[in-house]
Chains A and B, each alone.
Chain A
Amino acid sequence: MPNYKIINTDNLYRRVPKNKFYWKNVNGKKVASSYAFKTKPNEDGLSVNIKALTTLELTVENPELFGVAEFSASIPLGLGFTCRHDPKTDNDAHALIVGDTRRIAKKLSKAVIQVFYIEL
């Protein structure tokens, strides 16, 4: 049962493939592309993990293949999106940014605070 209310002070994690294929270089730093934050047409929302309920190790699953981008829940919440705790049997920290995030994907990518398991 969902029992965690996501608020502005929460941070969210999103896995991003680690290969340099998937990052762009801006002023010498690797920056996540907006593609990583766009839902597919048939999805209910964008899958993320709630930082307060998980660890980086659990979120990344496979650090050989993936990195983790961290951003504030205040960004989607401030844009009018619902962020809903959506626990899975194998991932209690799972949540959804509900709806089509294509139109805010650029803002989410710009809002990334930190990336982990990625060589900057």
Chain B
Amino acid sequence: MNQYTTAHKFQLTFNEPNINYITGSFSPIFDKSDNITNPYMPDSSRLQGIKYFNFVEKISKFSKLQANWDSYNADPISQNAITTALETIDFLNNQGFLSSGISINVFPMRDGGIQFEFDSVVICAELEINANGELTFILFDDEGNIKVENQLFELLELSALLDE
């Protein structure tokens, strides 16, 4: 469990700034023209690293959700789903997707799974990880209609789908 070891090593404390905890998007920093000369502006690789560890921290915390966490009888998040989600964020980080311009979000699911959401001007998609750790990729059109739904058997398939 390499990612756990690394996460603890670099984990942010609650007192440290936690930029864009949910979206992981850092565009506001780069959008400010006065930041161009800002000597304290973090480089993109460091930002990607912070984003990665924020995701790891968030996914790990899903294990603390108790039954009925949504008030509508949601299930606790399964360890299989958490393990697969951590592998997924590790994969997305290694493939450079955390700094690719795609906004990535991760949420617990009511059935004990975890879902990733991918949003950009050219893609609207979700990756569902069910309680057994199985992967389903769903591609949507602009209105939210499902265009494509595929079960994935390995994460490499995700890379191909996001690159399309």
A residues sitting closer than 8 Å to B (CB atoms) are 15-17, 20-26, 33-36, 38-41, 47, 61-62, 65-66, 103-104, 106-107, 109-110
Contacts and interface: CB of A to CB of B under 8 A. Distances in A.
A61 B145 CA distance: 32
Contacts of A33: 105, 107, 115, 117
Chain A interface main SS type: mixed
A20 B69 contact: no
Contact of A17 (B70, B105, B111): B70
A25 B25 contact: yes
Interface of B: 20-23, 25, 58, 61, 69-75, 103, 105, 107-111, 115, 117, 119, 124, 126, 140, 143-146
A21 B70 contact: no
A25 B61 CA distance: 19
B22 A35 contact: no
A47 B105 contact: no
Given A21-B22, A26-B103, 14 more contacts: A17-B70, A17-B71, A20-B22, A22-B107, A24-B103, A24-B117, A25-B22, A26-B23, A34-B126, A40-B74, A62-B71, A106-B124, A106-B126, A106-B145
